[in-house]
A = this chain, B = another copy of it.
Amino acid sequence: MASSKTAPPLTEPGDASFDRWLDQQRRRHHYAVRRAPLDTLPGWRFCRDTGDLVHSSGRFFSVSGLRTTTDFGTDGQRPHTWTQPVIVQREVGLLGMLLKESGGEVHCLLQAKMEPGNLNGLQLSPTVQATRSNFTGVHRGRPVPYTEYFTGDRRGGRVLADSLQSEQGWWFLHKRNRNVVVMTDDDVPALDGFRWLSLRQVGALLLRDHLVNMDSRTVLSALPPQQLARRGGQPAPVGEDDAQHSFAEVLSVLADARFRYELTQEQLPLREVLEDATSAWGRTRDAIGRRDGRHFTVLGVTVEAQAREVARWSQPLLAPVAGLAGLLVRRIDGLPHVLLRARVEAGSLNVAEFGPTVQCSTRHLHGRGAHRPEFLDTLLAPRAGRVLFDTEQSEEGGRFHHAVTRNLIVELAGDDEVAGAGTHELPPDFCWVSVPQAQALLRHGNYLNVQARCLMTALTLATR
C-alpha cells in the first residue's frame, strides 16, 4: 500500500478521541442523497422483456421477481405460494476485517463510510467492503485499499476465518458475501477515513444505535474465540460434554429442517409479479411497493459524495418496514446457551439456516394468537431475567434504505422455565446451542443467518 504516513498508536486513549475523529470524518465527507423516481435513475432501466430493474452494464445487482413455495410456517398445512420483488446479485462480495494485536488487545481496522441508505450518513464498515466489481474495476473508481491482505497470497497476514455467508433471505435471492478475518503483524497505517479500534472499543460502540454497520457486525461474528478472550483467560474448546446437545445433534436440527421443508424458488420477470392480479405488489413512477404498505418498498436515490470510489451515482434501494431480531440466552449447567431457530426464507440458498429466537417485522408486535411469533412475549417481558442488549442497528446501507432492526438479547434466569423457553420440549426447529457451539458454527457458511450473526457479535463483544 502506498502511504507515507506513520502508523498511529494502536491503543486509543478513550471514546472522546474516537468521537472527535468521527465528527471530523462527518464534517469532511460531504454527500447528498436525494430520492429520484425509479424510471429516471441514470444508468438504470426497466428491462423491456422482463420488467426487471437492471443496470446498463448488466452488473451490480437487479430487482427481479421471485415465486416461492414452502410449507415452512404453515403448521403442517398445505404449502404456501407467493410472488414478490427480490434483489438478485450473483456476484459474491467480500467483507474483510484486518486485525492486529497491540498492548495485549486485538484491534481491528474500521472505516467511517457513507452508504446511501444509511439514516445517519457515516457508519463504521469493515477494512474492506467490496463487490468483485470493485476488484475488476467495473466501478471505474479508485482501487479499494487494503485488498492485498484479503486476496491472492495474502502477503503479511494469516487468515483466521473465511466463509461465504448469506444475507437477508427475504430481500435477496441466494445472496452470498465472503466474510474474511485476517491477522497481521505488519505495521499497517490507517489511511484517511480508517481507524484502528480495539475489540473492547468496538463492543462499547455496538451499544450505540446505528454506528457499527451490518457488514462489520457480520464479519466480526466469525472472530475465533481465541481473539474474543479480551476479558482474560482462554475460552473453553467446543464443549461437547457441557452443552445441552452434542454438536452433531445441533447440526442435525438444521439438516432435519433442510430435509423436511419444501422450498421451491423460481426467479421470474418482475413484470409478472407486478401484473399478478393476486399479488399486492404494484409500481408507481417513483417506487415499487404494496398497496397495504407491508414488507418493503423499492425506491431510487441519486448520490453525490466526495469520499467514495465514485463521486456521483444513482441506484435503487430496498426500504423495509422496521424489524426485530431477538435472542434468548440462558445458562445451562453454567454454560451460556442461545436459543436458535432453523428458518426457511424466500431467498435461502440451502433451504434453511439458523436464525435468532425471534425474527419479525414490528407489525408482528401487535399480532395475536398464531400470528404472534413464538417466544416474543418472553423476549419483550421476561418474567425472570435481564436485558443484556437492546439497540437499534442498521441493515446494509448499500442496498437498504433506513432499514432499522431492533437487536434485543435477553438472559433468562433458571426459573423462567415455565415461560415455554425451557430446555426440553421446545417447538419444532428451535434448539438451545451453547455459545462455543455457535462460534464453531460461525466458522462455516450458511449456518447462521445475518440476524443471528449480528446478535452473536453483540453477545460476545458488547455484553458481560
Contacts and interface: CB of A to CB of B under 8 A. Distances in A.
Interface of A: 90, 92, 94, 132, 151, 158-164, 176, 178, 180, 224, 246-249, 251-252, 255-256, 258-259, 264, 349-351, 443-446
Contacts of A246: 158-159
Per assembly, the copies of the chain total 2
B259 A164 contact: yes
Contacts of A252: 159, 162, 180
A443 B161 CA distance: 18
A259 B132 contact: yes
A163 B441 CA distance: 13
Given A162-B251, A252-B162, A252-B180, A259 B94 contact: yes
A90 B264 CA distance: 8
A353 to B, nearest CB: 12
Contact of A444 (B249, B259, B444): B444
A256 B446 CA distance: 16
Contact of A248 (B94, B161, B264): B161
Contacts of A255: 162-164, 178, 180, 445
A349 to B, nearest CB: 7
A373 to B, nearest CB: 24
A92 B262 CA distance: 9
Contacts of A445: 255, 350
B159 A259 contact: no
B349 A164 contact: no
Contact of A350 (B132, B160, B350): B350
Of A162, A164, A258, A445, most B-chain CB atoms within 10 Å:
A162
